[in-house]
Structure 1
């Protein structure tokens, strides 16, 4: 059993016709028929019943179908993982950033990316954090920059920077001699 046989098998399942299945996998119809016949001989079972131009799965074929789909998906996942290890060479990466952050921090990052990956197209989408979250979950964008707060489990997070807020007071203020100040204390202090 090999990937090509499983691909041919699923093409026939999906199209329920050898001619259309052959067109889908871009081989001649007689070659597809021979491939399926050899696959059935190898397995020792009949996968399809053939009546006139109609093709139907046998009970054995129905049992094989979900496994074939899972195997081909795993092969595709393995190819993707290897491609990611090699580094992307062409395609498009869609990045979502908050408006102010996108215009302030990302021009240099985008230019460095384009220099490192000249054949990759990068599209920057400026939006609010909630919209970026939604677009990530729906697959509209590939990467997004959001606050690392209440991130859905479906998203993987890598922190890219941490910002620090600074309280500025006159030298005569009670906080002037302090090295640090807690956020809650700053917000609850009566000024």
Structure 2
């Protein structure tokens, strides 16, 4: 074993740097809480390991030798590395420190989720967050490559082989159920009733872009033989409804958005109905298996569940963009 292995410890490096700060053995020893001979011994061991004097003396004043200057730079870098590693390990093993990266489906507006983060940050100020919005494919890519710790999205999602991937690679938990609701100008339907797809085959639609969740879902319900006629695609739910109101186009939104804006939609000329055969989907959070080994992730999800339990108005919990 090289002799430097037992000498270049974090303790000896701190002693060395403290002596540089004071250039006085007595003062440095007092600050470190050790005796002056103990400090002198550590410095001599360092010098012996390096093979060159680190300090010179002119009268009663110490000064750094050229070897000492080189060692100072190395000691600062080594201690920063050690401290960084220790900090990373502590962040990994502690519930109240570290960073969490969250990706959110870009057609969701998580206003109350931000309220939760605000309250969480007050309780755990040393846990920091990065939050970004992505389409479904990019969310999965970032989950796969560990660029985000947690995704909030709709499930099931046919962007990838979801059942296989969720079972083997991911954990998920449903936050709330949701479903698709059609807003139509047809005057032969009754609000809140369910009708077959055939009643809407010749309609024109204002819809979300194709990379949003509901448009591929609608196309799936209508089937390949009944291509949707979509003259306009808009990413904003509010603007979709406004355009539908001002034209003869129909549109489709989520039940959660309708529940949050039912009064204004009921005052419009659009009638809300459901499709036969449509299925529930869920607003869920998804994370790679193993993430719950990180205490801050465990803590985040536990606090999130506690927060949900206190908020019964789930219709406003995660509503789509207004």
TM-score category by the smaller chain? 0.5 to 0.7
Of 74, 81, 90, 2:88 maps to 81
Aligned to 1:122: 125
Shift of 1:77: 0.4
What is the root-mean-square deviation in Å for CA atoms of aligned residues?
3.9
1:128-176 deviation per Cα after TM superposition (whole angstroms, max 9, x unaligned): xxxxxxxxxxxxx94466889xxxxxxxx85865896313248763263
Mapped to 2, the partners of 1:13 and 1:106 lie a distance apart of: 47
Using CA pairs below 8 Å that are at least 6 residues apart, which structure has the higher relative contact order? Answer: 2
Q: Specify the SS of the correspondent of 1:45.
A: coil
Number of matched residues? 141
1:52-77 deviation per Cα after TM superposition (whole angstroms, max 9, x unaligned): 44211011111211111100100000
Shift of 1:88: 3.7
Of 61, 66, 75, 1:54 maps to 61
Aligned to 1:3: 10
Q: Which protein is richer in helix relative to its size?
A: 1
Of 34, 38, 49, 2:41 maps to 34
TM-score (norm 2): 0.36
Aligned to 1:134: none
Task: Select the structure of larger CA radius of gyration.
Answer: 2
Does 2:250 match 1:177? yes
Q: Specify the SS of the correspondent of 1:176.
A: coil
Unaligned runs of 5+ in 1: 92-100, 115-119, 124-140, 149-156, 181-191
Question: Does the 8 A contact of 1:169 with 1:176 survive in 2?
Answer: no
Shift of 1:81: 1.0
1:103-124 deviation per Cα after TM superposition (whole angstroms, max 9, x unaligned): 843444456678xxxxx6439x
Unaligned runs of 5+ in 2: 1-7, 99-108, 135-146, 154-211, 213-234, 254-322
TM-score (norm 1): 0.56
Instruction: Indicate how the Cα distance of structure 1 residues 175 and 77 shifts in structure 2: closer, same or farther if over 3 A, else same.
Output: farther
